Amino acid sequence: MGRTYQTSDFRNGLKVELDNGPYVMVYFQFVKPGKGTAFTRTKLKHMLSGNVIERTYRTGESLAAADIEEQTMQYLYNDGDDYHFMNEETYDQVAIPAKSIEGEANFLVENDKVDVLYYKGNPVNITLPNFIESEVVYCEPGVRGNTAQGATKPATLACGATVNVPLFIDQGETLKIDTRTKEYVSRVQK
């Protein structure tokens, strides 16, 4: 038996194992009905699919810890099917299938450091750095002096993502992007 967590151990970020995989706790609240025993109400997010479920545990019930490990690795390249990463200390390399990281792959910049998530010893997902920098490889020509609030156009970045950017941005410029919101932050002076 691996380690288990009691309701008193519950906190955000706890990684637990349910019937169908690993979940991370994103919300917990102590609830004690006047006429009943004490419970903790939780919201748990599936670490691979992102689905959020609601579960309620009675005080004294326990949850198994998920067999989850994170390693910081460098993104190397992709070959179309797989994305390849390297541990910078051991030089070990791992490959993650493109379909496992569909939402993140377009924001991978070569040589950036990402957290690779291992579930039961297998690499299954990644956590992007909060910010990336990538060059605009295509957008409509910039409109000088146009700083109108809110007006945007799509721009395609070297990393593969398409994001909405202000009208004054030109092809060839390097942009800072917030990977959590997938939104433009600023221009980067090179």
Partner 1 sequence: MNPQRLRQRAAITAAIRRWFDAHGYLEVHTPTLVDCPALEEHLEPVQVGHQFLHTSPEFAMKRVLAAGLCRIYQIVPCFREEEEGDHHAREFSMLEWYRAGAGTPEIMEEVESLIAAAARAIGVEPPHFVRQTVDELRKSAGLPETVDEVEWFRGWITHVEPHLSRPTIVYNYPLWQAAMATERNGHADRFEVYLSGIEIANCFAEEGDHAVLRQRFNASKDYRRSAKKTPHPTDEKLLSSTPFMPRSAGIALGLDRLVMALTGETDIAQVQIR
Under the rule (CB under 8 A), what is the footprint of partner 1? 29-39, 41, 54-56, 58-59
Distance, in Å, from the CA atom of 175 to the CA atom of 125, rounded to the nearest integer, reads 25
Shortest approach of partner 1 to residue 55 CB, angstroms?
7
Distance, in Å, from the CA atom of 63 to the CA atom of 35, rounded to the nearest integer, reads 25
| Alpha carbon separation from 133 to 39, 107, 112, 159, 161 (Å, rounded) | 45, 9, 10, 9, 11
| Percent of residues in the chain assigned helix, strand, coil, to nearest 5 | 5, 55, 40
Q: Residue 41 or 46: which CB sits closer to partner 1?
A: 41
Q: Residue 46 or 153: which CB sits closer to partner 1?
A: 46
* The token pair that represents 54 in the structure block: 């609601």
Shortest approach of partner 1 to residue 6 CB, angstroms?
13
Shortest approach of partner 1 to residue 19 CB, angstroms?
17
Q: Residue 8 or 122: which CB sits closer to partner 1?
A: 8
| Alpha carbon separation from 18 to 34, 64, 140, 143, 144 (Å, rounded) | 29, 8, 48, 53, 55
Q: Residue 42 or 100: which CB sits closer to partner 1?
A: 42
Shortest approach of partner 1 to residue 23 CB, angstroms?
15
Do 71 and 116 touch, CB atoms closer than 8 A? yes
Shortest approach of partner 1 to residue 44 CB, angstroms?
12
The residues that bridge with 83 in the sheet, in sequence order, are 78, 96
Q: Residue 35 or 99: which CB sits closer to partner 1?
A: 35
